A and B are shown apart, each in its own frame.
Chain A
Amino acid sequence: MRLTVNGRNHDVDAAPDTALLYVLRNDLELNGPKYGCGLGECGACAVLIDGVAARACVIPIEGCAGRDIVTLEGLGTREHPDPVQDAFIREQAAQCGYCLNGMIITTKALLTRNPHPSEHEVLEALRYNLCRCGAHIEIVRAAMRAAGHVLEARD
């Protein structure tokens, strides 16, 4: 099975019904997407498939053939972060960071289809991404910053 991930082709020796998540993590050794629920409920495993947010825990690789898959690693690096990653770092938008992958990917997908979302649209776009530490405030600020909003400084 051939997969295109972060702009590169990978031939993967896994059963066609294997969830994309396990192939990304184990065969491609990508740490960004995380296992959170296996049911598409929490968003920790999010990746972009053809530019749209996708839950890699419920999509088998047989559904990914010929599609363009981008993970957190494919967005940018510490040295050259994507603007969304940069906004999350600047706003310190994580505590444990386990959900961070999904938050960044979902924000990226949002900005791709709607470059200037309102705060309400950001909240709705992130509705199905769960964070348990309570980093929500910074996450929303990061998404707003990435969307080009000028944020009020915090006292």
Chain B
Amino acid sequence: MTDARSSEQRKRGSLSVVRPAVLGAEGAFETFITITSDGSVNAYNGHVDLGTGIRTALGQIVAEELDVSFARVVVILGDTAVVPNQGATIASETIQITAVPLRKAAAQARHFLLARAAERLELPANDLTIEDGLIRGHDNRSVSYGELIADETIRLELADDVAVKAVSAYSVVGQSVPRVDLPAKATGELVYVHDVRVPGMLHGRVVRPPYAGVDAGPFVGTSLIAVDEASVRDIPGLVAVVRIGDFVGVVAEREENAIKAAAQLKVSWKPGPVLTDLSDIEKALRANPSTPRQLIDRGDVDAAIKAAAKPMQRTYVWPYQMHGSIGPSCAVADYGDGAIRVWSGTQNPHILRGDLALLVQRPESEIDVIRMEAAGCYGRNCADDVSADALLLSRAVRRPVRVQLTREQEHAWEPKGTAQLMDVNGGLNTDGSVAGYDFVARYPSNGAPTLALLLTGRIAPEAAVFEMGDRTAIPPYDYENLRVVANDMPPIVRASWLRGVSALPNTFAHESYIDELAAEAEVDPIEYRLRYLKDKRAIDLVNAVAERAGWTPRPVWKEPEADGDIVRGRGFAYALYVHSKFPGYGAAWSAWIADVAVNKTTGDVSVTRVVAGQDSGLMINPEGVRHQIEGNVIQSTSRALMEEVSFERGAVTAREWGAYPIIKFPELPEIDVLMLPRQDQPPLGVGESASVPSAAAIANAIYDATGVRFREPPFTPERILKGLHGEQPVAPAALPSPAPPADLSRWQNPFAKRGGVLAGIAALCAAAIGIGAAVLPWRAIAPIARPDASVYSAATIARGKELAALGACAVCHTSEHGIVNAGGRPLETPFGTVYTTNITPDIDSGIGSWSYPAFERAMREGIHRDGRHLYPAFPYTHFARTSDADLQALYAHLMAQTPVRAETPANTLAFPFNLRPLLAGWNALFHQPQPLQPDPSKSAIWNRGAYLVEGLGHCSACHSPRNALGAERQGAYLAGGFAEGWEAPALTSLSKAPIPWSEDELYAYLRSGESRLHGVAAGPMAPVVQELAALPDQDIRAMAVYLASFNETADRPAHDALAAKLEAATAVATAASAGARIYQGACAVCHEVGGPPLFGSRPSLALNSNLHSDAPDNLIQVILHGIAKPAVTDLGYMPAFKDSMSDGQVAELASFLRQQFAPGKPAWTDVAATVGRIRQTIAR
């Protein structure tokens, strides 16, 4: 865009065709065409290319009328500084409406240049020919446009009565031309608004209020209580936190830090307002206050219906849907004192400019909105909120700021395609004719003011009512008695135009109803329509589509022959999309014949084939028209089959693609596009028409297949099953989980996070004080000077390093982002917080003054050098089993570290847990500080494994259950426990894993962090595997041998066969619940067995121990928090879904996964409550 402008200024002469500006100063004008003396052509249009290829089609029109080559024309769209103000890019108007003056301007320029050439060449104009801007006489003399312009500045005022070319003379228009933008898009060279980089640019993110998706009501702009700037003080490069009313944003030097800051910023909001309950759309729309507006009243509808032989009253409901742009909104703003520039993906640059002027109280003339290519938006960018967000942040920091919405914000806050309700009253006369047609639509308005205006309080958050629900509200059929009323009403949820606007729902009703009439009249539905269709082009189209599809008349519904569970059907629908302010005008005519396959057992509907016919008038770029038809067919099939915004307490809850699925490649119908040749007719808008018949054609096909009418999309499996079989319990009532056995205590030790058995505490105190008193006091061991590590051999130190890894010392003794082993990591316990200590050899704050005997006593007896008891969060009960040689080596390694001065924060334990002497009693009860004795009946490798596992490896510290006093239970070794909010599953035959653990799988898991038959290490286990990387293979093998001995003997072929069987039996074939859809949208990409390879592992959920466990904790943990630090990077990463899914959604997902992948296990109970509890805990 800037290129076009600056190059224009450089050139000497030019010819422009202009008109006086609609708004602006006296003498201001708007330019449509500029031809410069070098022969280049710039064409300006106020509309923008939303990805439909309009840029290419407009270039063709200009090239045609100007008689220059297509390649010579540069089309400039939507830049407010240079393009004419032609309003919003909506309603498929660009070709039909806004291209008209452009075409005339091009023709006018050609006439002017031709006349001038005639003069110059002294030949009559009609003796001249033009080829690519070169005008030639019959005597072969020629002159180019550039030469005719030379250094003059010629400005022509656009005339009304310009003669344009006859269609028969067209050579560029009407030919398929490749899109001009695609080569750059396919190579990453095109600069979308998302790719704009301005010198000095910062990155911003916004934080949206909790009333997600609602923009009217007294709470809008007034709900913010406080923003805690201290909560983001640690974010590197943070530049500003901005708050204006309910508008909150952050600005940082780097994008990822802006993202972190926005996620981390503590913002408090007033308690959520009571929003309209949208669980029942029909009820909500009926309750919404409205004003009736009669659009037509012909004949005597009331009398006709009263006299009908067969009265038929029907209601059709349309859900809230999303535009679902693949690219979340983005803009860059640069707020300067004299000039403001905003790079935007808006659909209406001039209107946006007005909003921005209002927002920052600056004159429009100072603001330049530069329209860049953006992600397809289908009406969403009528409210390009992010441009205003970027401007507010740029104003706050006085630097250019780029803002992109998160996916979650885009889903929640995009103005939706609104819900709609259509009531049809009517019926049949005895002869099967239509008695009357009384149509009433209820359509919440979709004004969608720019959000920042509302959030900052610049405009009042009032729900404005517009006349909008009337598009194609009048049916295309010549009913004798016809009345149509549009009920105008305020929005309930924020909404903007969505492809097909109110015409798609209205047509769903018209075309479903006439199908119902035909069925009642026992007349073929196409034949029945033709009785009432008077428009010649419509009739031609309907006939052409019927012929193309091989339609066979179906006057009476017959049960189709079933193919197993599958029944097939075919449906028809037709529409002339009438858009814009009532009565509006027609775009292209469109008709569908849809074929469907309905699975009567699962409720799945697939659209297998669509014949889509269209009469578009003159097609500027026929391939471009075909792409629009196909795009509309695919998008509207998706909308009809699966799309519906979900709400919780009236706020939008679908915040990612699992909760709002759209059609995927394998679900595509075969599409047969039929484009009627009408090149002699005026061009019509083609951006939306083909979507308008969609839902009705599909519903009619489902009726044809099943004999059941569906009057409310989306046609999800649940709806189909309900329609076919009536209200059924969704699934067999889940069996209650068996009461957890008393021994499934979730204690890890007194320092486990999970609360518990407070009753035991009194006993602990009593016992401990009693026993402790007998053995007090403990002596301090005198400090020493820091030992010289060089007395130890390098081999010993290296061995000690391995042992430290086995003990995972650094995992606990290192704080987040802290120095290794310098301590300070908080361990949350039910009794308070314990901080791990500094175990670097610093004399004052670490263990530099510890002699070996002091170290050994700590490791074996849990006593600090100074005589204090250590809390058994420190697993000395295991470390005690280590050999003297290994403890020596470990000591050598620790002393050879670089000392780090780091004071350990004071523990914050409540009485009596702050009384360390009590631990003496605990030790007396539960600690046996003898080194491990080998079992002579076992192999050497088994004994080695036992030593590693039971000693420094301290596996059972997490993997064994604890008694009420927090000690590992006798007789339940490795039978499973809980640690840090995660279940540490049983490692013995008590394991819930569907396939028993074998030596090889244990080895694979401990070595690589993954067992194909069980899953990947996550949560607290991931860093353990990371540490184990330091150990040689034979030690890992020994651990695997030892642990495997607690399991049944491995049978590898049997295990593999079982895995294959489990995976085959649990393959997800249908998406019949919200949980299943979330799985397919969010999880399957990385977890579906046999899915396309992606970087990282592909854990098989059917085999995953966590799904088979009695407790859902690990599954919920990993869904909420993801895996940010895998054991090894080869495993790949799992994103955290905590900010993308509600507790209810996570619970639905977890419940689905349990039912699907562990079908033999009882459903988990209280999953939602567990999600809530785990959400509160700190993620590892």
Cβ–Cβ < 8 Å partners of A64 in chain B: 1129
- What is the chain B residue whose CB lies nearest that of A142? B186
Q: Is the CB of A39 within 8 A of B407?
A: yes
Q: Is the CB of A60 within 8 A of B1133?
A: yes
Cβ–Cβ < 8 Å partners of A53 in chain B: 1092-1095
Q: Is the CB of B665 within 8 A of A95?
A: no
Q: Is the CB of A26 within 8 A of B255?
A: yes
Q: Is the CB of A42 within 8 A of B254?
A: no
Distance from B525 Cβ to chain A, minimum over Cβ atoms (Å): 26
A127 part of interface (Cβ distance < 8 Å): yes
Distance from B613 Cβ to chain A, minimum over Cβ atoms (Å): 13
Distance from A113 Cβ to chain B, minimum over Cβ atoms (Å): 7
Cβ–Cβ < 8 Å partners of A109 in chain B: 1092-1093
Within 8 A of B (CB), among A70-88: 71-73, 75-78, 81, 85, 88
* Binary CB contact string for chain A from 11 to 30 against chain B (1 if under 8 A, 0 otherwise): 00011011100100110011
Within 8 A of B (CB), among A126-149: 126-140
B709 part of interface (Cβ distance < 8 Å): no
Picked from B374, B632, B657, B1081, the residue with its CB within 8 Å of the CB of A96 is B374
Q: Take A37-B407, A98-B326, A134-B635 as given contacts and tell me if A78 and B373 are in contact as well, using a CB distance cutoff of 8 Å.
A: no
Cβ–Cβ < 8 Å partners of A113 in chain B: 1093
Q: How large is the interface on A (under 10, 10 to 19, 20 to 34, 35 or more residues)?
A: 35 or more
Q: Take A15-B236, A132-B325, A132-B326 as given contacts and tell me if A42 and B657 are in contact as well, using a CB distance cutoff of 8 Å.
A: yes
Picked from A77, A95, A137, the residue with its CB within 8 Å of the CB of B51 is A95
Q: Is the CB of A37 within 8 A of B656?
A: yes
* Binary CB contact string for chain B from 405 to 421 against chain A (1 if under 8 A, 0 otherwise): 01100000000000000
Cβ–Cβ < 8 Å partners of B188 in chain A: 30-32, 71-73, 101
Give the CA-CA distance A42 to B184 in the complex, in Å.
21
Give the CA-CA distance A132 to B327 in the complex, in Å.
10
Cβ–Cβ < 8 Å partners of B203 in chain A: 26
B170 part of interface (Cβ distance < 8 Å): no
Give the CA-CA distance A153 to B52 in the complex, in Å.
22
Distance from B153 Cβ to chain A, minimum over Cβ atoms (Å): 34
Binds A, one of B174-182, B933-941, B978-986: B174-182
Q: Take A53-B1094, A127-B664, A128-B1084 as given contacts and tell me if A95 and B187 are in contact as well, using a CB distance cutoff of 8 Å.
A: no
* Binary CB contact string for chain A from 36 to 51 against chain B (1 if under 8 A, 0 otherwise): 1111111010000110
Give the CA-CA distance A98 to B627 in the complex, in Å.
16
Q: Is the CB of A134 within 8 A of B634?
A: yes
A124 part of interface (Cβ distance < 8 Å): yes
Q: Is the CB of A123 within 8 A of B666?
A: yes
Q: Take A42-B326, A63-B1132 as given contacts and tell me if A127 and B1091 are in contact as well, using a CB distance cutoff of 8 Å.
A: yes
Picked from A59, A77, A99, the residue with its CB within 8 Å of the CB of B326 is A99
Cβ–Cβ < 8 Å partners of B185 in chain A: 94, 97, 100
Binds A, one of B189-197, B854-862, B905-913: B189-197
Majority-rule SS of A interface residues: loop
Q: Take A131-B326, A134-B630 as given contacts and tell me if A92 and B623 are in contact as well, using a CB distance cutoff of 8 Å.
A: yes
B328 part of interface (Cβ distance < 8 Å): yes
Q: Is the CB of B1092 within 8 A of A106?
A: yes
Distance from A152 Cβ to chain B, minimum over Cβ atoms (Å): 13
Give the CA-CA distance A113 to B1092 in the complex, in Å.
10
Distance from B662 Cβ to chain A, minimum over Cβ atoms (Å): 6
Q: Is the CB of B664 within 8 A of A96?
A: no
Cβ–Cβ < 8 Å partners of A123 in chain B: 665-666, 668
- What is the chain A residue whose CB lies nearest that of B189? A78
Q: Is the CB of A97 within 8 A of B182?
A: yes
Q: Is the CB of A40 within 8 A of B1086?
A: yes
Picked from A14, A37, A57, A95, the residue with its CB within 8 Å of the CB of B657 is A37
A58 part of interface (Cβ distance < 8 Å): yes
Distance from A20 Cβ to chain B, minimum over Cβ atoms (Å): 10
Most chain-B CB neighbours within 10 Å: which of A15, A22, A38, A140?
Answer: A38
Distance from B371 Cβ to chain A, minimum over Cβ atoms (Å): 14
Most chain-A CB neighbours within 10 Å: which of B194, B668, B1094?
Answer: B1094
* Binary CB contact string for chain B from 619 to 638 against chain A (1 if under 8 A, 0 otherwise): 00001001100111111000
Give the CA-CA distance A85 to B327 in the complex, in Å.
21
Q: Is the CB of B187 within 8 A of A85?
A: yes
Q: Is the CB of A127 within 8 A of B656?
A: no
A110 part of interface (Cβ distance < 8 Å): yes
Q: Take A41-B1082, A131-B326 as given contacts and tell me if A72 and B187 are in contact as well, using a CB distance cutoff of 8 Å.
A: yes
Q: Is the CB of A31 within 8 A of B326?
A: no
Q: Is the CB of A89 within 8 A of B1133?
A: no
Q: Take A58-B1133, A109-B1093 as given contacts and tell me if A73 and B187 are in contact as well, using a CB distance cutoff of 8 Å.
A: yes
Identify 18 residue pairs between A and B in the complex whose beta-carbon atoms are under 8 Å apart, listed by A's number. A19-B256, A29-B197, A31-B190, A39-B407, A39-B1135, A40-B1085, A41-B656, A63-B1126, A64-B1129, A77-B189, A88-B182, A89-B182, A89-B183, A92-B182, A97-B185, A97-B373, A132-B375, A136-B634
Known: A31-B191, A95-B376, A124-B666. 11 other contacts (CB 8 A): A14-B256, A17-B1124, A19-B256, A22-B254, A37-B657, A39-B1137, A63-B1126, A63-B1132, A96-B373, A98-B375, A126-B1092
Which residues on B are within 8 Å of A, measured CB to CB?
50-53, 178-179, 181-192, 194-195, 197, 203, 236, 254-256, 323-328, 373-376, 378, 404, 406-407, 623, 626-627, 630-635, 656-658, 662-666, 668, 671, 1081-1082, 1084-1086, 1091-1096, 1124, 1126, 1129, 1132-1135, 1137, 1140
Which residues on A are within 8 Å of B, measured CB to CB?
14-15, 17-19, 22, 25-26, 29-32, 34-42, 44, 49-50, 52-55, 57-60, 62-65, 71-73, 75-78, 81, 85, 88-89, 92-101, 104, 106, 109-110, 113, 122-140, 154
